Chains A and B, each alone.
Chain A
């Protein structure tokens, strides 16, 4: 029953959009300088069209914008290291935004090997950001000391907050079953084991029972109309297990989120343009500032506009940061700010209207 209701809501919103005058769109687009991808243009991954999306019917959420930076993988080698330079570049870009975002969300993997020196360098660089910063933890931050320094610097990794009508939830989705105690790994051995993406002996990420219980309680007081944005480091679905583009208990977490009308999951870890939709939940990946990852050999969601392969001769290509515009129905439009390419907008409207696999590049 509630599922049908949700579908109807989405559809009626879409129908209301189609009646809007094209000239109106363009006028607004020019005025605001927003560049988005047209929903009818599935293969335009390298092209952006100046077509403004209309505001859907009013709900409780306000329209506002926040920025994100993610996956910087800093090494304890000072601000001259290429990864530090990339994070500094992202911070400068966000600080140059006009108008400024309401806040900045950091998507995890600030450090490469979870060392105090790395996290400290990251904290120092992020401190330059003018807006408020919300932090999320990634496996590279966590597995040297099981999050000790990260928590000392940034607090609890699992929390929620309400902002302008949206309920934001931040999870630690990189919980892995203990395999290190029995094999007597040193902290650095454990960290290196975890840091290797293609480790055939790696264990899958989970949110875990404890956080699922917390999440269930956190959601219990909310009405089903409350828009929800969840941040997780790993994608809260199953994309490609060998690289841990995967959360093992994703189905159970999705089940907790599925009764809500507007749910968006924003995740790091995958270092690529990535979009998915499962039921009414829409998933968006974040770019890395450090390096892009190729798409996995299988499991790429059909909603994804695949980014062409990066130029290795340009350290900034395929990397960047981005911003997120919340729309009145509590869903979001997501923009990938790729440093050496045109900005790429994946609008809510485009996602819900994707019927077939979006063609990708040839590689």
Chain B
């Protein structure tokens, strides 16, 4: 107990010192208030799009103030551009005196863009870049080309002798696309999967080779590769 009484005056001094320091900090902020204005205290006017998810913060104008025609056009144009990104929540800041636009997508930190054309660059890797709708479209397109490949793979029309790919390769087995490119010993050079597809079309199927950019070649490759999803790529494996 005795020790506690002796310590008390010392604690009181320390407390006073802390309080003074806090006051000093507060005074410092007040001194520089005119120079560094916090962002929320700037004069701004917020224009919100009809979907409620797109906002433009126009700096230098207070709420309800009528903007010059040129400024209004700029704001409208920016909002229209933002509306292209239906699902996203986007806030843009238009500074009073510079051309840069600051954009925040889905609550992420503001990034600067020189032009609204650059917006997709920011959006491509936002926190939810692929909407369900996008994914449905992409899947439909993938299914379409894989389905076309499946059809060709099971159809003797690629050749001229009634033989089709699936006869030797049920479920595209033994095509091992993950091993290409590889040195094909029988031809003495490095082959890609498409070279082997063409080899099969020309030989067992006795048909005509497909050009590399032939839609049928792309479809065949799509189907064959799709059957090996998850396999590790081992180019050159024999």
Looking at chain A, what size class is its interface with the partner chain? 20 to 34
Interface string of B143-181 (1 = CB under 8 A from A): 000000000001000000111001111110110100000
Beta-carbon contact of A297 and B166 below 8 Å: no
Q: Does A242 contact B (CB under 8 A)?
A: yes
Number of A-B residue pairs with CB-CB distance less than 8 Å in the complex they form: 45
Beta-carbon contact of B174 and A75 below 8 Å: no
Beta-carbon contact of A312 and B161 below 8 Å: no
A75 CA / B164 CA spacing, docked (Å) = 12
B residues near A315, Cβ cutoff 8 Å:
204
Beta-carbon contact of B170 and A197 below 8 Å: yes
Identify which of B162, B166, B176 contacts A112 (C-beta below 8 A): B162
Identify which of A77, A81, A291, A297 contacts B168 (C-beta below 8 A): A291
**Shortest Cβ distance from A86 into chain B, in angstroms?**
12
**Shortest Cβ distance from B194 into chain A, in angstroms?**
15
B residues near A309, Cβ cutoff 8 Å:
174
A292 CA / B176 CA spacing, docked (Å) = 16
A243 CA / B163 CA spacing, docked (Å) = 18
For A311, A312, A363, the residue with the greatest tally of chain B CB atoms inside 10 Å of its CB is A312
Beta-carbon contact of A196 and B200 below 8 Å: no
A363 CA / B178 CA spacing, docked (Å) = 12
Beta-carbon contact of B174 and A363 below 8 Å: yes
Q: What secondary structure prevails in chain B residues at the interface with A? A: loop
A171 CA / B162 CA spacing, docked (Å) = 29
Identify which of B162, B169, B170, B200 contacts A75 (C-beta below 8 A): B162
Q: Does B6 contact A (CB under 8 A)?
A: no
A78 CA / B173 CA spacing, docked (Å) = 29
Q: What secondary structure prevails in chain A residues at the interface with B? A: loop
Q: Does A239 contact B (CB under 8 A)?
A: no
- Tell whether A294 pairs with B186 under 8 Å between CB atoms, given A197-B166, A198-B166: no
Beta-carbon contact of B168 and A363 below 8 Å: no
A197 CA / B166 CA spacing, docked (Å) = 8
A112 CA / B171 CA spacing, docked (Å) = 19
Beta-carbon contact of A196 and B162 below 8 Å: no
B residues near A198, Cβ cutoff 8 Å:
166, 170-171
Interface string of B185-202 (1 = CB under 8 A from A): 010000000000001100
Interface residues of A in 269-314 (CB under 8 A from B): 291-294, 297, 309, 311-313
Beta-carbon contact of B173 and A297 below 8 Å: yes
Beta-carbon contact of B162 and A77 below 8 Å: yes
Q: Does A82 contact B (CB under 8 A)?
A: yes
Beta-carbon contact of B162 and A312 below 8 Å: no
A residues near B186, Cβ cutoff 8 Å:
311, 313
A112 CA / B163 CA spacing, docked (Å) = 10
Beta-carbon contact of B171 and A242 below 8 Å: yes
- Tell whether A312 pairs with B168 under 8 Å between CB atoms, given A82-B161, A294-B174: yes
Interface string of A312-340 (1 = CB under 8 A from B): 11010000000000000000000000000
Add 19 more A-B contacts to A73-B167, A112-B162 (CB < 8 A): A75-B161, A75-B163, A77-B161, A82-B161, A82-B204, A242-B171, A243-B170, A243-B171, A291-B167, A292-B168, A293-B168, A293-B170, A294-B174, A309-B174, A311-B186, A312-B168, A312-B199, A312-B200, A313-B203
Contact surface of A with B, Cβ cutoff 8 Å: 73, 75, 77, 81-82, 112, 196-198, 242-243, 291-294, 297, 309, 311-313, 315, 363
Q: What are 6 inter-chain pairs, A to B, with CB distance below 8 A?
A: A81-B161, A112-B162, A197-B166, A197-B170, A309-B174, A312-B203
